[in-house]
């Protein structure tokens, strides 16, 4: 364990958990204040414009490849989260949310939703990633919705929570199958914590506790390293999942006045993941699998969001590195495309937009 972590970990443990994330839309004044901020905003706006053009008439998005033209819940939910980050009143959001709600309302029994099966996103992240992303999106979007969509969304959140509970494994995770299922389990945990903070549905405390324990298991305290086997042995995915999951656990522990040992363990696990990200001098973690894919974009978004909430001067250096790389990788039409595994331009573009528009609370 590095001297940096040993020195910083006690300070991180003392940081008060914030009431919730805040991701304001960058303003024209922001763009004028810094040339780089202006470039980042223009890049994000081009990505948003591409996403809006790619939205289907049913309100959803397909993965954007030639394999299928049918709208999918996971891709739609992720794209809609990007639109929410850009403008919570964006005109494309209600139809997208309606699409996701209908997939919950029309879902068959079991953990899954009414969405195509065997998709690229499911194969790479996990069988029930659609359910987890639907729960996360609806809990985040609920305050922005008008009736009757808001009432339907609230009911759909409860259903999605029940389905996520059915997907939970004995070890506390939520997806065993997939190329990097640790990311799907992290999304499920993030959605559950979002629902818990907002109070939109009754949660099984045991389910949440098992999920928190799973997030702890993604680091090895004995060896002071990340456990990457459920993240395709890619440290970026392991770091993103452990950082996001254990940070949420710390927030929840503070709200529940949980025992000090649980909070301390979550703090230490978050610190190990944080060390992997912040001390990535050679760029090994940032490179992920070696090229940009949807998994990288999802990981970048998780890390950026968590660093925003932690703050403490840790966000800016990371943001400078990842934003520069994303701007260079953007295509002329405003989109991004994955070069391995999750190649979906919709999913990849949404992840880029979420990352570029992460911003500390003003």
Residue 29 lies in a domain: no
User: Stretch 48-74: mean pLDDT, rounded?
Assistant: 91
CATH of the domain at 134: 1.50.10.20
State the Cα angle at 140 between 139 and 143, rounded to 5°.
90
Prediction pTM value:
0.87
Q: How far lies 167's CA from each of 35, 111, 172, in Å?
A: 46, 6, 10
Q: Quick: pLDDT tens for 112-157.
A: 999 999 999 999 999 999 999 999 999 999 999 999 999 999 999 9
CB atoms within 10 A of CB 48: 24
Q: Looking at the DSSP assignment, which residues form a beta bridge with residue 219?
A: 226
Residue 40 lies in a domain: yes
CB–CB of 77/133 below 8 Å?
yes
User: Stretch 229-238: mean pLDDT, rounded?
Assistant: 85
- pLDDT for res 258: 58
Residue 148 lies in a domain: yes
pLDDT value at 317 more than 70: yes
Residue 27 lies in a domain: no
Residue 22 lies in a domain: no
Q: How confident is the model at residue 3 (pLDDT cuts 50, 70, 90)?
A: very low
The per-residue pLDDT of the chain, averaged, comes to: 85
pLDDT value at 324 more than 50: yes
- pLDDT for res 18: 33
Residue 95 lies in a domain: yes
Cα dihedral 151, 153, 155, 160 in deg (nearest 10): -170
- pLDDT for res 106: 98
Joined tokens for residue 266: 């979550």
Residue 221 lies in a domain: yes
Q: Quick: pLDDT tens for 245-283.
A: 999 888 776 665 556 777 788 889 888 888 888 888 778
Q: How confident is the model at residue 204 (pLDDT cuts 50, 70, 90)?
A: confident
Percentage of the residues of the chain whose pLDDT score is greater than 90: 59
User: Stretch 21-50: mean pLDDT, rounded?
Assistant: 63
Percentage of the residues of the chain whose pLDDT score is greater than 70: 86
Top-confidence residue, 286 or 59 = 59
DSSP 148: T
Instruction: Using CB atoms within 10 Å of the CB of residue 18, give its burial: 0 to 12 exposed, 13 to 18 middle, 19+ buried.
Output: middle
The count of domains in the chain is: 1
Supply the range of the domain harboring residue 85: 3-14+34-356
Residue 19 lies in a domain: no
CB atoms within 10 A of CB 169: 13
């Amino acid at each position: 364990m590095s001297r940096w972590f040993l020195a910083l970990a006690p300070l991180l443990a003392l940081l008060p958990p914030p009431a919730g994330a805040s991701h304001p839309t960058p303003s024209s004044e922001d763009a004028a204040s810094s040339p780089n901020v202006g470039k980042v905003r223009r890049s994000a706006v081009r990505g948003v414009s591409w996403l809006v053009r790619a939205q289907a008439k049913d309100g959803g998005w397909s993965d954007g490849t030639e394999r299928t033209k049918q709208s999918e819940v996971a891709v739609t939910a992720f794209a809609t989260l990007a639109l929410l980050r850009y403008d919570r009143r964006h005109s494309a959001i209600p139809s997208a949310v309606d699409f996701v709600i209908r997939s919950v309302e029309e879902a068959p029994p079991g953990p899954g939703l009414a969405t195509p099966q065997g998709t690229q996103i499911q194969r790479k992240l996990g069988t029930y990633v659609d359910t987890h992303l639907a729960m996360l999106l609806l809990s985040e979007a609920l305050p922005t919705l008008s009736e009757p969509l808001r009432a339907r969304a609230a009911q759909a959140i409860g259903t999605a929570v029940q389905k996520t509970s059915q997907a939970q494994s004995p070890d506390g995770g939520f997806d065993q199958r997939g190329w990097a299922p640790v990311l799907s389990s992290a999304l499920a945990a993030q959605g559950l914590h979002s629902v818990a903070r907002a109070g939109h549905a009754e949660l099984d405390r045991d389910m949440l506790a098992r999920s928190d324990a799973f997030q702890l298991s993604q680091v090895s305290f004995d060896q002071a390293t990340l456990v990457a086997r459920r993240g395709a042995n890619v440290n970026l995915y392991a770091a993103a999942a452990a950082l996001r999951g254990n940070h949420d656990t710390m927030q929840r522990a503070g709200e529940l006045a949980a025992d000090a040992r649980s909070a301390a363990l979550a703090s230490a696990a978050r610190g190990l993941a944080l060390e992997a990200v912040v001390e990535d001098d050679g760029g090994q973690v940032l490179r992920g699998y070696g090229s940009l894919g949807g998994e990288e974009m999802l990981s970048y978004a998780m890390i950026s969001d968590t660093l925003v909430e932690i703050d403490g001067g840790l966000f800016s250096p990371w943001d400078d590195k990842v934003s520069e790389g994303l701007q260079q990788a953007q295509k002329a039409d405003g989109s991004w495309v994955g070069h391995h595994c999750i190649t979906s331009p919709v999913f990849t573009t949404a992840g880029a937009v979420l990352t570029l528009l992460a911003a500390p609370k003003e």
